[in-house]
Structure 1
Amino acid sequence: MQAVAARAIDLHKRYGAGDSEVRALDGVSLDIAAREFTAIMGPSGSGKSTLMHCLAALDTPTSGDVQIGDVTLSGLRDKALTTLRREQIGFVFQAFNLVPTLTARENILLPLYLAGRRGSFGGADREWFDTVVDTVGLRDRLTHRPSQMSGGQQQRVACARALVSKPSIVFADEPTGNLDSTSGAEVLGFLRRSVDEFDQTIVMVTHDPVAASYCDRVVFLADGRIVDEIRTPDREQILEHMTALQAAAVRGQA
């Protein structure tokens, strides 16, 4: 049986109360297999970002539970939760979130230094640092600041930063949303390689069928619930499912 990197157990997330209550998640249960690339997709308001934020310990569900590996998040105090996010989880965001005054190398190693790790590579294995940097093609950009790099290069820095600490799982929120098609393909290619070659586990929220086609599995949400999934998807299959979900959403609003 394949190992489970993260698990959602009957997750509910509600905002507001009474007539204004919004059910962002409505009983979601989901296993994220280790060493796989999983996409979460759905129409706007379907709950996909909320689900990722709960899985990544960035938000707390109203009820239900999340497990990262064998650790149940609801049983952790704030300090332990912060440690788990820092040591077990990597993040890649649409907006890059790089520190403008730091070089690419410093941005990549920043989470390790913030964790109190010492040494010229923040306690990271030098060979692993070199592997990550060379895989994302940043060797000649390590001394450049974000303003001296293209959007695609900045996002590759963010990907390297997410992986350098060897997290158990990486969450990517629309990682190609601010990139042109060429830069987006470079970032997605790196994420795919990190799964295939480095046994990484990646969960990506995206609205883009091309981006999702890089994944092993696509999970579809609608109205806060999982409604479908595809394994080994291609762009046409994903587009067909998304079109059907969008049409259903429009009918529901009519």
Structure 2
Amino acid sequence: MSHSLSEKTQAGAGGTPAASARELYKVYGTGDTEVRALDGISVDFSSGQFTAIMGPSGSGKSTLMHCLAGLDRPSAGSVRIGETELTGMKDKKLTEIRRDEIGFVFQSFNLVPTLTARENITLPAGIAGRKVDQQWFDQVIDRLGLAGRLDHRPAEMSGGQQQRVACARALVGRPRILFGDEPTGNLDSNSSAEVLSILRSAVDDYSQTVVIVTHDPRAASYADRVLFLADGKLRHELASPTSDAILDAMRALEEI
């Protein structure tokens, strides 16, 4: 598999980042019990690029993603999605940004068990009162191999199929940026590779921007770059990563 940036991606790498953080802090507790989950992180996520965020348990990687995605508010610093500043935004407006600009794929799939695959995929558009672009819907369904599963409920599908439905739900809304929180954490190696290939092709074929948190070096090797966090700080970055280079970087982090 090629991990080089496509021409589309390079074109998208200029201009306004899809997401950015400046001097981001997240502090829990006070005094002796204070924990700095994020300790002054500044980072950009270029449009049309696939980034993986890694680090030991407690490094701040999930906190960073949750702050970037507007799911959590930082203690200090600035978060932008495109040119929109999220910091200090009212909850109602933040909900709209999450709905309109951001796609999510979670470890636990987060599908509604009583709805079919089709209904799960179109649910966010329905809530927003938007019509689904049928041509784009068909293209995504075809690419993800879900045409024969649209009338099935989650309980009638394998974990890999459920996660493909979750990917379709995220992509059908054409988000500015797609976040994955351990998106392959509950999958076997075949389903995991399938979902990662889908995210990779979303970047290469549709100039989508993808950011995932993962502990799996093989998953991170699908990305264009890997960011390594430890103790709430950005410690290292790898471009065009291989599994071996990622493992070496993780070992070095544990020695800090």
TM-score (norm 2): 0.93
Structure 2: tracts of 5 or more residues without a match: 1-12
Residue 176 of structure 1 corresponds to 184
The alignment status of 1:23 with 2:31, answered yes or no, reads: no
Looking at structure 2, the residues matched to 42 and 240 of structure 1 have their Cα atoms a distance apart, in angstroms, of 12
CA-to-aligned-CA distance 1:44-86 (integer Å, 9 cap, x gap):
0000000000000000000001000000002422211111000
CA-to-aligned-CA distance 1:181-235 (integer Å, 9 cap, x gap):
0000000000000000011000000000000000001000000000000000010
1:189 to 162, 178, 197: 197
Residue 2 of structure 1 corresponds to 14
Residue 235 of structure 1 corresponds to 243
Deviation, structure 1 residue 2: 1.3
- Superposition RMSD on alpha carbons, in Å? 0.8
Deviation, structure 1 residue 171: 0.4
TM-score (norm 1): 0.94
Deviation, structure 1 residue 247: 3.1
Pairwise mapping of residues 78-117 of structure 1 onto structure 2 (< 5 A)?
78-117=91-130
1:134 to 134, 139, 142: 142
The alignment status of 1:152 with 2:160, answered yes or no, reads: yes
What is the DSSP-based 3-state SS (H/G/I as helix, E as strand, rest coil) of the residue aligned with 2:211? Answer: strand
AA partner of residue 13 (structure 1): K
What is the DSSP-based 3-state SS (H/G/I as helix, E as strand, rest coil) of the residue aligned with 1:74? Answer: coil
AA partner of residue 225 (structure 2): R
AA partner of residue 143 (structure 2): T
Looking at structure 1, the residues matched to 27 and 181 of structure 2 have their Cα atoms a distance apart, in angstroms, of 21
Structure 1 runs of 4+ with >3 Å offset: none
Looking at structure 1, the residues matched to 148 and 158 of structure 2 have their Cα atoms a distance apart, in angstroms, of 13
What is the DSSP-based 3-state SS (H/G/I as helix, E as strand, rest coil) of the residue aligned with 2:140? Answer: helix
2:207 to 199, 206, 210: 199
Residue 120 of structure 1 corresponds to none
Pairwise mapping of residues 54-65 of structure 1 onto structure 2 (< 5 A)?
54-65=67-78
Structure 1: tracts of 5 or more residues without a match: 118-122, 249-254
Looking at structure 2, the residues matched to 246 and 178 of structure 1 have their Cα atoms a distance apart, in angstroms, of 25
Looking at structure 2, the residues matched to 50 and 236 of structure 1 have their Cα atoms a distance apart, in angstroms, of 26
1:217 to 201, 222, 225: 225
AA partner of residue 204 (structure 1): I
AA partner of residue 232 (structure 2): G
Deviation, structure 1 residue 115: 1.1
Instruction: Tell me the percent identity.
Output: 63
